[in-house]
């Protein structure tokens, strides 16, 4: 299958004054094939959301390339060329409470993108909004209501309709279920899965819940302190992790089934994720790695393919 979306050594640093720089994302290369779902996991503070936002142009990148259908996205995201491409790439945000403007009706929120990016009349925009409300399991009458009149799960459905009304090909789902009650998380994931199939979407699914990511994704990328440390088929990475960080992440992830969770000996990751302002020399995971060696503190391991597996790992053990 051909590559639809690709980042090549994508880097995003933020200057925070006094000569200090936050290394939020460092040289991340990730190619996503047409109709593929790639899950991006890691602790909070690992740079997952910044990667998603920079890839879509919601932050200007520091360096590296972003390609969509083989074409470079312009360096300046405000340019007209970028705006044209941008309708094919959309984002579903984490927090359905703060990402919807409380002063706009649901119809205005969902139809805003069409109003900006198409020459459709008010009537046909309303018809599209009604269609998309139905697609996400809401009623066309909901169009005239305001976001505060809806539950968290319904607001996330509104966010999904807003992203998909432009009929994008590539969607970044940034922790789309983490702010929702457990009881509605599966409904939203299933809705995304159905719409993905119907529309032939390609997704980057960002989350910290590994079992959920394994469930929805074809491949899984594991991020630590701004870099990808392991990448491979989702089931393989989950059941046979190779990078010490992935191993601990998998072992510390709660099992969805309470009975299995009770019997399990879980491991927790020692220490805190280091500050992205003072990125350690060598392997970024060295300060917390139970298998650290001398070389780890001196040389940065590159993400390399493992011979025997369909897997890429950044670790001196391989």
Which residues are near ligand SF4 by CB under 6 A?
244, 283, 285-286, 289, 291-293, 296, 301, 315-317
CB of 40 vs ligand SF4, minimal distance in Å? 19
Neighbours of 290 (CB within 10 A): 10
CA distances (Å), origin 63, targets 10, 66, 249, 280:
6, 10, 29, 20
Q: Report the C-alpha gap between 93 and 96 in whole angstroms.
A: 7
Nearer to ligand SF4, 203 or 296 (CB): 296
Q: Report the C-alpha gap between 159 and 106 in whole angstroms.
A: 10
CB of 282 vs ligand SF4, minimal distance in Å? 8
CB of 25 vs ligand SF4, minimal distance in Å? 19
Q: Report the C-alpha gap between 29 and 65 in whole angstroms.
A: 9
Nearer to ligand SF4, 155 or 242 (CB): 242
Nearer to ligand SF4, 139 or 297 (CB): 297
CB of 281 vs ligand SF4, minimal distance in Å? 12
Q: Residue 174: beta bridge partners?
A: 206
Give the 3-state DSSP-derived string for 77-103, with helices as H, strands as E and coil as C: CCCHHHHHHHCCEEEECCCCCCCCCCC
SS3 7: strand
Nearer to ligand SF4, 255 or 294 (CB): 294
Cα atoms in the 13 Å half-sphere on the side-chain side of 101: 11
* Residues present in the chain in total: 318
CB of 242 vs ligand SF4, minimal distance in Å? 10
Nearer to ligand SF4, 277 or 293 (CB): 293
């Amino acid at each position: 299958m051909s590559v639809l979306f690709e980042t090549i050594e994508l880097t995003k640093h933020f200057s925070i004054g006094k000569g200090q720089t936050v290394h939020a994302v460092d040289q991340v290369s990730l190619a996503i094939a047409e109709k593929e779902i790639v899950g991006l996991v890691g602790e909070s503070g690992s740079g997952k959301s910044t990667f998603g936002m920079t890839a879509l142009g919601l932050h200007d990148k520091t360096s590296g390339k972003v390609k969509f259908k083989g074409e470079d996205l312009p360096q300046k995201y405000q340019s007209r060329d970028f705006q044209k491409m941008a309708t094919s790439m959309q984002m579903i945000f984490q927090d359905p409470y703060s990402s919807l403007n409380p002063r706009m009706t649901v119809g205005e929120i969902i139809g805003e993108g069409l109003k900006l990016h198409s020459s459709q009349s008010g009537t046909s925009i309303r018809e599209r909004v009604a269609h998309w409300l139905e697609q996400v399991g809401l009623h066309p009458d909901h169009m005239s209501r305001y976001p505060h009149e809806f539950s968290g799960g319904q607001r996330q459905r509104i966010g999904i309709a807003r992203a998909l009304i432009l009929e994008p090909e590539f969607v970044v789902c940034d922790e789309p279920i983490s702010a929702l009650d457990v009881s509605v998380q599966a409904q939203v994931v299933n809705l995304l899965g159905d719409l993905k199939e119907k529309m032939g979407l390609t997704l980057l699914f960002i989350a910290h819940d590994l079992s959920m990511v394994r469930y929805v994704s074809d491949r899984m990328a594991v991020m630590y302190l701004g870099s990808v440390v392991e990448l491979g088929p989702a089931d393989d990475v989950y059941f046979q992790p190779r990078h010490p960080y992935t191993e601990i992440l998998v072992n510390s992830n709660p099992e969805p089934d309470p009975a299995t969770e009770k019997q399990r000996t879980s491991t927790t990751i020692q220490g805190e994720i280091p500050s992205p302002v003072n990125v350690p020399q060598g392997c970024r995971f060295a300060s917390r790695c139970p298998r650290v060696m001398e070389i780890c503190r001196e040389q940065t391991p590159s993400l390399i393919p493992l011979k025997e597996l369909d897997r890429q790992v950044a670790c001196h053990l391989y």
